């Protein structure tokens, strides 16, 4: 029998939404582990049930907090772990569809690194696509709501379900990345060991991408804070310098990241701070 542990990493969470997340999870998983990176306790300890609360009392980074939760879940006997950000909200049947997809893929003899849901932006209602690598570009994967699981480059951290056997083989998240590219790096590492990620169109999760949204012509594009620009560039360059990462992925990601940064710098807020952090990340990475 499967035992699924949900690991939720928090940092100054908005309490009403956070309670909705916990309520949505309680009927879908056997254990909930909250890892709080807030500078002080901002989450109610008296949550009842199978909720475990780990307070770091400072921000140790997303990856390190995820690893704390994963290690606790595995030591408690979880067969599978599912990661969540504090601003996500899974549909009531999301975990069921992920487990079902995982079982179907396993019966087909496929080595599955993770299965992940369709992320629907809570502001615009836009469904985020899954991506695969085609040549030296990222290509959107066409899906239907009732379609079969689709292979993709990676699944985003929030909502991804990972089996303990895969974790033992691939390892934990890379905690020196702190935030950004954590799920991508882990997915690439899993690929090197013969595993593949799958997106599950029937599994739906509301998710907030970025700190705000800007409109460029007819498109609404999420943008992050200047601090995130630093970690995006620093961690991306770290992967570009890794000889084990496929060259085709590096080229595709350079193109994708360049577009994202150009939009942020030319159309976003705090343009000077974004540019300053981008240059800082480039300088530190080159001198490393």
For 225-283, the pLDDT digits (tens) are 889 999 999 999 999 999 999 999 999 999 999 998 988 888 878 888 999 999 999 99
Checking if the pLDDT of 171 tops 80, the result is yes
- How far is C-alpha 194 from the geometric centre of its chain's CA atoms? 20
Based on the structure, what is the number of domains in the chain?
2
User: How much is the pLDDT for 143?
Assistant: 75
Beta carbons of 235 and 286 less than 8 angstroms apart: no
- Quote the pLDDT of residue 41: 60
Q: 14 and 96 share a domain?
A: yes
CATH number of the domain enclosing 178? 3.90.550.10
Whether residue 46 has pLDDT greater than 60: no
Mean pLDDT lowest among 47-51, 122-126, 154-158: 47-51
User: Are residue 240 and residue 115 in the same domain, yes or no?
Assistant: no
Is there a single domain that holds both residue 159 and residue 193?
yes
pLDDT: which is higher, 213 or 149: 149
The full DSSP string for 261-274 is HHHHHHHSSSHHHH
> Which tens digit of pLDDT belongs to each residue from 175-211?
999 999 999 999 999 999 999 999 999 999 999 876 6
Residue after which a domain boundary falls, among 189, 207, 225: 207
Query: Does residue 165 surpass a pLDDT of 80?
Result: yes
Q: What is the pLDDT of residue 123?
A: 76
Specify whether 92 is located in the same domain as 144. yes
Predicted confidence at residue 45, as pLDDT, reads 53
Both 165 and 200 in one domain: the answer is yes
The overall average pLDDT reported for the chain is 91
Instruction: Write down the pLDDT at residue 31.
Output: 96
Structural domain of 237 = 212-287
Q: In whole angstroms, what is the distance from residue 102 CA to residue 93 CA?
A: 14
Determine the Cα–Cα distance for residues 84 and 61; give it in Å rounded to an integer: 14
13 phi, psi to nearest 5 deg: -70, 150
Dihedral sign from CA coordinates of 285, 233, 283, 227? negative
pLDDT at 210: 66
**177 and 216 belong to one structural domain:** no
Last residue of a domain, one of 207, 242, 260: 207
Mean pLDDT of 76-97: 97
Whether pLDDT at 221 is above 80? no
Q: Are residues 45 and 148 in the same domain?
A: yes
Shared domain for 13 and 42, answered yes or no, is: yes
Number of continuous H segments (helices) and E segments (strands) in the chain:
8, 13
Q: Same domain for 142 and 276?
A: no
Confidence of residue 217 (pLDDT cuts 50, 70, 90): low
Last residue of a domain, one of 176, 207, 238: 207
The reply to whether 191 and 250 lie within a common domain is: no
Q: Are 6 and 32 in contact (CB under 8 A)?
A: yes
Residues 49 and 182 reside in one and the same domain: yes
- Which pLDDT does position 245 carry in this prediction? 98
Identify the DSSP state of 127.
Answer: B
User: What would the pLDDT profile of 20-44 be if each residue is shown by its tens digit?
Assistant: 999 999 999 999 999 999 987 665 5
**pLDDT tier for residue 127 given thresholds of 50, 70 and 90:** confident
CA distances from 273 to 59, 209, 277 (A): 21, 20, 6
Same domain membership, residue 223 and residue 130: no
Q: What is the pLDDT of residues 114-125, one digit of tens each?
A: 999 999 987 777
């Amino acid at each position: 029998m499967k035992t699924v542990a949900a690991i939720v990493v928090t940092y100054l969470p908005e309490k009403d939404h956070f309670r909705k997340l916990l309520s949505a999870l309680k009927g879908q998983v056997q254990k909930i582990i909250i890892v709080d990176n807030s500078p002080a306790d901002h989450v109610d300890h008296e949550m009842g049930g199978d909720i475990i609360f780990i307070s770091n009392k400072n921000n140790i980074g997303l990856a390190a907090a995820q690893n704390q939760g994963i290690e606790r879940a595995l030591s408690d006997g979880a067969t599978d772990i599912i990661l969540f950000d504090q601003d996500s909200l899974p549909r009531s049947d999301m975990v069921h569809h992920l487990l079902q997809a995982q079982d179907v893929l396993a019966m087909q003899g496929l080595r599955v690194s993770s299965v992940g849901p369709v992320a629907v932006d809570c502001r615009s209602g836009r469904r985020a696509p899954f991506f695969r690598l085609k040549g030296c570009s990222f290509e959107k994967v066409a899906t239907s709501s009732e379609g079969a699981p689709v292979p993709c480059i990676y699944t985003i951290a929030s909502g991804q379900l990972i089996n303990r056997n895969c974790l033992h083989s691939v390892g934990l998240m890379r905690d020196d990345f702190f935030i950004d590219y954590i799920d991508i790096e882990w997915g690439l590492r899993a690929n090197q060991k013969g595993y593949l990620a799958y997106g599950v169109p029937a599994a739906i999760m509301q998710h907030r991408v970025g700190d705000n949204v800007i409109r460029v012509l007819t498109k609404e594009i999420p943008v992050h804070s200047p601090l995130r620009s630093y970690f995006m560039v620093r961690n991306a360059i770290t992967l570009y310098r890794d000889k084990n990462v496929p060259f085709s992925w590096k080229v595709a990601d350079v193109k994708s990241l360049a577009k994202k940064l150009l939009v942020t710098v030319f159309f976003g807020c705090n343009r000077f701070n974004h540019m300053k952090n981008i240059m800082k990340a480039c300088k530190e990475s080159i001198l490393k």
